[in-house]
Amino acid sequence: MAGAASALFLLDIKGRVLVWRDYRGDVTAAQAERFFTKLIEKEGDSESNDPVVYDNGVTYMFVQHSNVYLMIASRQNCNAASLLFFLHRVIDVFKHYFEELEEESLRDNFVVVYELLDEMMDFGYPQYTEARILSEFIKTDAYRMEVTQRPPMAVTNAVSWRSEGLQFKKNEVFLDVVESVNILVNSNGQIVRSDVVGALKMRTYLSGMPECKLGLNDRVLLEAQGRATKGKAIDLEDIKFHQCVRLARFENDRTISFIPPDGAFDLMTYRLSTQVKPLIWVEAQIERHSRSRVEMLVKARSQFKERSTATNVEIELPVPTDASNPTVRTSLGSAAYAPEKDALVWKIKSFPGNKEYMLRAEFHLPSVTAEEATPERKAPIRVKFEIPYFTVSGIQVRYLKVIEKSGYQALPWVRYITMAGEYELRLM
């Protein structure tokens, strides 16, 4: 097991201790003052963004949130990344209880803060970090806290994210495979940025303590099993799992095995950095017929197969800040002038694959001389869309099994959807 935390400090923006919790008795409150001195020394240093400071046998790991520093001090050879992640979970839990984590909310609720820190860490080892579980036995009422009988704590608590004794009349699992496409096209029509960020989003309504197993068309797994992978397997990068996934099992045989939390959570996120063909391509021609009239011709083309359909398509076209009285015609959908965005917003409810549609717009501008004219904004065209039953990566859920000792049959539901992330096309 990695080295443990000695103490956790919550400091104000000037380095004064607001709250601290000693877990192992091998550091003192003076360590906070030592940490802040080292932090000030680091300012202006090329490594000033480093969240880890080492000094005289003590490692300090810290995160700043609003006007509060959260800092863990340890005298052991600890896993810094794990403890930094724990600090981010502390922030999430405090925000769940106090709406916002800042100096004032800590001062108003210091009793609850100490109780939470006692439950979230035991002898320097992270324990319960799920706000939903903590809120079952730490309940707040203004500044008063009531603690109900809680499950026994253990340093090696294996399932801190799930309560025991859950019961549902209908046992169901919903899995959404959601991919966001990020595209940046420059004014010459070249793709300068392209990637896909994916997430496996789950909602579970399962009784007991079920064991779930998920299989994907993962190239490494299929090749290890001696299966054909031509055209059916994918290479995922930057895979990150929810804490419920057994990482050792995945490293060993690529099996995704887990006891899920109750309700909604992200089981896994991943990224693909391969160049993606823009799913919806937009071209705009702008003609100035005089100083006071601008005409715009826009073509939008779907570059995916006919069997798929994009829904809720929204194309935001930048227009001059002083434009007025637009006249707009579209071959599909509707368009409206949004002066607060300095844009024309073209909405298409259903955009089938391999189709092209057009928009024509004419704007009037105040008549100004060249000397009075301000430089024209170079805002990009922004596109939003969703394509159900479709993934860019080709990821497929091969199976989703639910095994529970009571032997009930669970209903798994799987959906796929692709949507626009940061999807921008620069104008000339």
CATH code for position 104: 3.30.450.60
The pLDDT score that the predictor gives to residue 221 is 61
Measured distance CA(241)–CA(239) in Å, rounded: 7
- Residue 167, domain member (yes or no): no
The pLDDT score that the predictor gives to residue 290 is 72
Say if residue 106 is in the same domain as residue 191. no
H or E segment at 295?
strand 293-302
Is residue 57 pLDDT above 70, yes or no? yes
Give the angle subtended at the CA of 42 by the CAs of 38 and 43, to the nearest 5°. 125
Say if residue 384 is in the same domain as residue 401. no
Which two three-digit tokens encode residue 267?
A: 């089981």
Pairing, β 256-258 against β 211-216: antiparallel
Say if residue 193 is in the same domain as residue 339. no
Domain range holding 189?
Answer: 172-276+392-425
pLDDT in tens, 161-186: 888 888 999 999 999 999 999 999 99
- Residue 141, domain member (yes or no): yes
Say if residue 68 is in the same domain as residue 127. yes
Alpha helices in 103-144 (DSSP H): 103-108, 110-120, 131-137
The total number of structural domains in the chain stands at: 3
Q: Which of 80-84, 227-231, 269-273, 287-291 is the least confident region?
A: 227-231
Is residue 111 pLDDT above 60, yes or no? yes
What mean pLDDT comes out for the span 70-78?
A: 89
Side-by-side strand order, sheet with 411-425: 237-241, 263-272, 191-205, 172-185, 411-425, 381-388, 309-318, 343-352, 334-338
The whole-chain average pLDDT of the chain stands at: 84
Say if residue 11 is in the same domain as residue 110. yes
What mean pLDDT comes out for the span 68-88?
A: 90
Say if residue 399 is in the same domain as residue 268. yes
Which two three-digit tokens encode residue 406?
A: 């009571």
**Based on C-alpha coordinates, what's the Rg of the chain?**
27
Across 344-357, b (16+ Cβ under 10 Å) vs e yields: bbbebeebebebeb
Q: Are 276 and 183 in contact (CB under 8 A)?
A: yes
Is residue 112 pLDDT above 60, yes or no? yes
Higher local confidence (pLDDT), 2 or 9? 9
Closest CA to 102 of 7, 19, 5, 23: 19
The pLDDT score that the predictor gives to residue 145 is 36
pTM of the full predicted structure? 0.68
- Residue 336, domain member (yes or no): yes
pLDDT in tens, 382-422: 999 999 999 998 899 999 999 998 989 999 999 999 999 99
Say if residue 109 is in the same domain as residue 242. no
- Residue 203, domain member (yes or no): yes
Higher local confidence (pLDDT), 272 or 205? 205
Indicate the residue type of 86.
F
Residue in the block written with tokens 């479709």: 390
Confidence band, pLDDT 50/70/90 cuts, at residue 251? confident
Say if residue 25 is in the same domain as residue 40. yes
- Residue 159, domain member (yes or no): no
- Residue 153, domain member (yes or no): no
Q: Specify which residues 70 forms β-bridges with.
A: 10, 63
Measured distance CA(116)–CA(136) in Å, rounded: 12
Residue after which a domain boundary falls, among 131, 147, 163 = 147
Q: Are 305 and 298 in contact (CB under 8 A)?
A: no
Give me the CATH number covering residue 238. Answer: 2.60.40.1170
Say if residue 16 is in the same domain as residue 108. yes
Q: What is the DSSP string of 318-372?
A: E--TT-EEEEEEESSSEEEEEGGGTEEEEEEEEEETT-EEEEEEEEE-----TTT
Is residue 280 pLDDT above 90, yes or no? yes
Handedness of CA 146, 150, 156, 162 (dihedral sign): negative
Measured distance CA(203)–CA(73) in Å, rounded: 37
